[in-house]
Amino acid sequence: MINIEQIRAQFPALNQSVNEYALTYLDNAATTQKPQCVIDAMADYYQTHNANVHRGSHHLTAQATTLFEQARETVAQFIGACSPDTVIWTRGATESINLVAQSYGRQQLSVNDEILICENEHHANIVPWQLIAEQTGAKVIKVPITHNGEFDIDAFNSLLSTRCKIVAIAHITNVTGARQPIEQVITAAHQIGAKVLVDGAQGIVHEKVNVTELDADFYVFSGHKLYAPNGIGVLYAKPELLDTMPVWQGGGKMVDKVSFDTGTSFAQAPAKFEAGTPNVAGAIGLATAINWYRQFDHHEVKQHIHQLQLNAQMALNTIDDIKIIGFQPDAGIISFVMPGVHHQDIATLLDQQAIAVREGHHCAHPLMDALGIKGTVRISFAIYNTQQDVDRLISSVKKAVDIL
């Protein structure tokens, strides 16, 4: 069995007080706290290996390059990629999606082609497609949600046609934690020749992912939701797609030869998509976080988080005036509202009691519009949360309801 107290002891940020209360951190869907081993690995890079990668021949750059590429191999193994060369470093899931839109999308899309996106997606998986649609003449087609806020697979199948070239879908949504039917979507899209990008920002934390078995064309995620640093992300793409995709950003390290006379020739993937000095420390931090996380039994972690979520949901249901929005058991997320009360007012009262939650539209305006609300209060659990955190949350929500 996993020892939660031993795990909590590895997270220095959890050992602090806010407003004279012990911090209860329940905003993990936004970003997770970092274990000491990740902090130490990044500090060690800057203290002993700090150098640019794939440039020069001195000892430090050789060490940094080795660590950097070992991190890529760690990620490739973690997601079941066929080769480390299919793993592209980015700043996060958002940049990964923009890269695909501006490279693959710009090359493949033309007037009246269609991009299918559900209305429950994060803005990061909507806006880049709207931009490339404007630039190419393609159309973004909205897939509606069901009455309970889930991806409507029947509506998707009815909208899918040979005009569709790209489907963009979250693995797990960030507002309700709903697990999307990505396998069905990928199979159906491939039958008509469309490619599928899966936004795994939430999914990578809560499921074992094998991109090869999933047959995803693109899979993206950020490190900072996976106990890793901010500013590092991953784009996985099938090798045959990477080979045909044009470069997106130009600069050093992504070229083979630059010439005013003959023009520029580019390196092969992954280098051709990694212009400039990369986030070496971030890549090392992400690999360290993955290795740290893999020491735990995935089923035990999932069960632990699910039990906390279930206990919180049952307790919230006993509080008058609290309404849970689209409860789903997949990602340790609960979103709720108090009708007639602004979500920020609830979150502010919780913060005064050192309960850290997220409030707002969660970068999901279309979903909020579909649900007929302005925003929610979102609770999200991680491996280091405890039943005591749930108890403190419920006590604080009751106090907030009494005040409001």
Domain 4-30+297-403 matches domain 39-293 at the CATH topology level: no
- CATH annotation of 4-30+297-403: 3.90.1150.10
Helix (H, G, I), strand (E, B) or coil at 352: coil
> Looking at the chain, how many residues does it have?
404
Q: Compute the distance between CA of residue 293 and CA of residue 129 in angstroms, rounded to an integer.
A: 33
Residue 263: partners with Cβ closer than 8 Å, 6 or more residues away: none
Q: Compute the distance between CA of residue 201 and CA of residue 96 in angstroms, rounded to an integer.
A: 11
Q: Where are the domains of the chain?
A: 4-30+297-403, 39-293
Identify the architecture of domain 39-293 in CATH: 3-Layer(aba) Sandwich (3.40)
Average pLDDT of adjacent 10-residue blocks, the chain of 404 residues: 95 95 97 98 97 89 96 98 98 98 97 97 98 98 92 97 98 96 98 98 96 98 98 98 95 91 93 95 98 96 97 96 90 95 96 97 96 96 98 97 92
% of the chain exceeding 70 in pLDDT: 100
Q: Compute the distance between CA of residue 273 and CA of residue 255 in angstroms, rounded to an integer.
A: 10
For 388, the token pair is: 């005591």
For 268, the token pair is: 């092969």
- Residues of the chain by 3-state class (helix, strand, coil), percent to 5: 45, 15, 40
Look up 37 and say whether it is catalytic: no
The mean pLDDT value of the chain amounts to 96
State the Cα torsion 311-356-92-105 to the nearest 10°: 70
Q: How far is CA 106 from CA 102, 132, 190, 235, 339, in A?
A: 5, 7, 20, 17, 44
Give 60-91 pLDDT, tens digit per residue: 999 999 999 999 999 999 999 999 999 999 99
Give 260-305 pLDDT, tens digit per residue: 999 999 999 999 999 999 999 999 999 999 999 999 999 999 999 9
Confidence (pLDDT) at 326: 87
Distance of CA 383 to the CA centre of its chain: 17
% of the chain exceeding 90 in pLDDT: 95
276 exposed, middle or buried (CB, 10 Å; 0-12, 13-18, 19+)? exposed
Q: Compute the distance between CA of residue 14 and CA of residue 12 in angstroms, rounded to an integer.
A: 5
Confidence (pLDDT) at 122: 97
Distance of CA 185 to the CA centre of its chain: 19
Please, where are the H alpha helices in 233-342?
239-244, 280-293, 298-316
Q: Compute the distance between CA of residue 200 and CA of residue 182 in angstroms, rounded to an integer.
A: 11
8 A C-beta contact, residue 377 and residue 361: no
User: Of 82, 118, 164, 363, which one is the catalytic site residue?
Assistant: 363
